[in-house]
Amino acid sequence: MDKDRIKGAAKNVTGKAKTAVGKALGDEKLKNEGRADQVKGKVQNVVGGIKDSMREADKKSREKP
């Protein structure tokens, strides 16, 4: 698993927490920061998934005679 996937998942969770706290406090800025962090986390997770796929494809191509 690529480190970007782990960092992306963590950023997504942090963003969800910020959004929830922002909603509870009525803080629009914090809520929006949380949403932005969620998007960044999802993108980073996708990038990590692509890297994983590329590594796996490279590994399979090297295994074939």
Contact 43, 8 (CB under 8 A): yes
The string of pLDDT tens digits covering residues 11-24 is 999 999 999 999 99
Cα angle vertex 45, ends 47, 52, to 5°? 55
Enter the pTM of the model. Answer: 0.83
Q: Where are the domains of the chain?
A: 3-63
Please tell me the distance from the alpha carbon of residue 57 to that of residue 5, in angstroms, as a whole number. 18
pLDDT category, 65, cuts 50, 70, 90? low
pLDDT of the residue at 64: 66
Structure tokens at 18: 């910020």
Q: Which residues contact 37 (CB under 8 A, 6 or more apart)?
A: 11, 12, 14, 15, 18
Percent of the chain with pLDDT over 70: 97
